[in-house]
């Protein structure tokens, strides 16, 4: 009797006008909610929330596959937070119908309400400096505000806009890969040296043979793929991701106060060459021909 009674009740529910609840997964995917530390999620969920965030900011467009892979790498290898990814997506879409970067293009606002402590993710790799005080309470570093790489903390009523503290960032890591055994050059940002931190290829990476440095450039060749630690850094830590989708020309906002940008990392299989597939004009980066890159400040 139980075998036919349950289906009968289910059918009765529809007859009475009961509306079944939408699947939990469909409800969860309406917005890209995620913890700051995306490493606590599975890779599948990391991809899902980043796809959703990009879709929300771009008004329905899908994130390019290589840009998604770049973000996943930054989460799992460079500890990028969800806030930093959201800011980078905003910068990559700026100038092409997407939202604008944070206040001033390279600052973040952090406020202590009712004297309570608050920690804010900055979106850049280094420490922060006070740019503009917003509170009547004086903001004094070491007293009611402090900074650490990627974060700023305020308390005691301090409210202010903070920007990146210029200077080298020792121990910065970059990923450089020789695909199809071709030579590839990756910008280090400053003239210096590098060391192999993690080999990603089955081909052995040997310095002087299939990888090395020249000025401010790290090069790899003949199948070497790896993560390298650079001595020095890339200036302020301010970056903008700019992408040419389907070969079309795209313009991305750049904070002119950061100086002239340089190609910090090529994210596309298409070559990014200054003067050919990317250029800088005043306060904007322009890319074309499928170039997709991470641009940094010197």
Strand pairing class (261-266; 159-164): unpaired
CA dihedral 202, 207, 212, 218 (to 10 degrees): 50
Q: What is the pLDDT of residues 217-264, one digit of tens each?
A: 788 999 999 988 876 544 456 778 888 888 889 888 887 777 778 877
Give the model's pLDDT for residue 223: 94
Are residues 153 and 118 in contact, defined by beta-carbon separation less than 8 angstroms?
A: yes
pLDDT above 90 coverage of the chain, percent: 10
pLDDT band at 32 (very low <50, low <70, confident <90, very high): low
Are residues 66 and 30 in contact, defined by beta-carbon separation less than 8 angstroms?
A: no
pTM for the model stands at 0.38
Which letter does DSSP use for residue 170 in this model? T
Token pair of 94 as six digits: 């700026």
pLDDT band at 25 (very low <50, low <70, confident <90, very high): very low
Q: What is the pLDDT of residues 199-211, one digit of tens each?
A: 999 999 988 889 9
Q: Is the pLDDT reported for residue 72 higher than 50?
A: yes
> Which residue's structure tokens are 């009797």?
1
Give the model's pLDDT for residue 46: 92
Query: What does pLDDT average to over the chain?
Result: 75
Chain centre distance of CA 177: 19
- Between 166 and 138, residue with greater pLDDT: 138
- What does the angle CA 277 – CA 180 – CA 275 come to, to the nearest 5 degrees? 15
């Amino acid at each position: 009797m139980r075998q036919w009674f349950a289906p009968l009740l289910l059918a009765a529910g529809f007859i009475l006008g009961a509306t079944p609840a939408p699947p939990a997964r469909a409800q969860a995917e309406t917005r890209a909610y995620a913890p700051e530390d995306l490493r606590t999620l599975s890779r599948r969920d990391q991809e899902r929330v980043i796809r959703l965030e990009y879709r929300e900011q771009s008004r329905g467009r899908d994130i390019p596959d290589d840009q998604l892979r770049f973000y996943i790498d930054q989460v799992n290898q460079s500890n990028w937070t969800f806030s930093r990814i959201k800011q980078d997506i905003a910068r990559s879409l700026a100038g092409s119908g997407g939202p604008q970067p944070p206040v001033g293009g390279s600052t973040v606002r952090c406020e202590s309400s009712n004297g309570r402590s608050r920690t804010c993710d900055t979106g850049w790799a280094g420490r922060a400096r006070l740019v503009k005080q917003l509170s009547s309470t004086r903001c004094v570093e070491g007293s009611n505000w402090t900074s650490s790489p990627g974060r700023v903390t305020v308390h005691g009523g301090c409210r202010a806009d903070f920007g990146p503290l210029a200077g080298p960032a020792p121990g910065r890591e970059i990923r450089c890969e020789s695909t199809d055994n071709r030579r590839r050059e990756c910008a280090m940002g400053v003239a210096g040296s590098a060391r192999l931190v993690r080999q990603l290829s089955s081909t052995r990476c040997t310095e002087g043979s299939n990888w090395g440095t020249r000025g401010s450039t790290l090069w790899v060749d003949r199948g070497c793929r790896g993560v390298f630690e650079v001595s020095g850094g890339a200036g302020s830590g301010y970056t903008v991701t700019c992408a040419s989708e389907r070969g079309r020309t795209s313009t991305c906002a750049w904070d002119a106060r950061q100086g002239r940008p340089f190609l910090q990392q090529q994210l596309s299989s298409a070559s990014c060459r200054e003067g050919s597939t990317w250029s800088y004009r005043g306060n904007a980066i322009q890319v074309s021909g499928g170039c997709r890159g991470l641009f940094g400040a010197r």
